[in-house]
Amino acid sequence: MAEELSAAPKLANNCYDLTLPAEGQDAESTGLHQILALIKRSDSTAIKSEGTRVFVNVIRKLWHEDTPGGEQRRVTMRTVSAPPVALALAQLVGRSKRYPILINEGIVALTVLSLHSGA
C-alpha cells in the first residue's frame, strides 16, 4: 500500500509527459497525439485496442484521488477529455465483443470522462 502511494506522483508525471507538449514541442507531437494517429491509421485490432488501453490507464490515474492536484493535472485532464480520445474509447467498446474486460475498461473510462466538468 505504501509503495502505491509513493508511486502516485511518478505515475502522474508519466501521464503529464505523455499528454502535454514539452517546451518547444508542438501539441501534435505529444505521445497522446502519436497514439491517436497510430490508432487511426492501423488496421490491426490489437494495436487499436492496446493503444486505447493507454488512454484508459491515463484516465484511471488522473482521476484517482491519490493523484496530486494542481494546474498541470487540470490541463492534462482537459486534454484527455478531448473528443478523439472519447471516440477511441467508444470504438474500443464497440469492437471488443469477445473481450468483456476491454468492454468494461472502455465503459469505465467513458463514464469517468462523462463526469468530468471541464475542470
pLDDT digits (tens, 9 = 90+) for 80-96: 999 999 999 999 999 99
pLDDT of residue 24: 77
* Closest CA relative to residue 62, chosen from 117, 11, 2, 4: 11
Residue 29 has pLDDT above 80, yes or no: yes
Q: What is the Cβ-side half-sphere exposure of residue 107, based on CA atoms within 13 angstroms?
A: 10
Q: Are 63 and 112 in contact (CB under 8 A)?
A: yes
pLDDT of residue 67: 86
Q: What is the Cβ-side half-sphere exposure of residue 119, based on CA atoms within 13 angstroms?
A: 14
Question: Strand, helix or coil at 114?
Answer: helix
Whole-model pTM: value is 0.86
Q: What average pLDDT does this structure show over 9-35?
A: 88
Q: What average pLDDT does this structure show over 22-28?
A: 80
Q: What average pLDDT does this structure show over 19-41?
A: 90
pLDDT of residue 11: 84
Residue 119 has pLDDT above 70, yes or no: no
d(CA 10, CA 69): 13
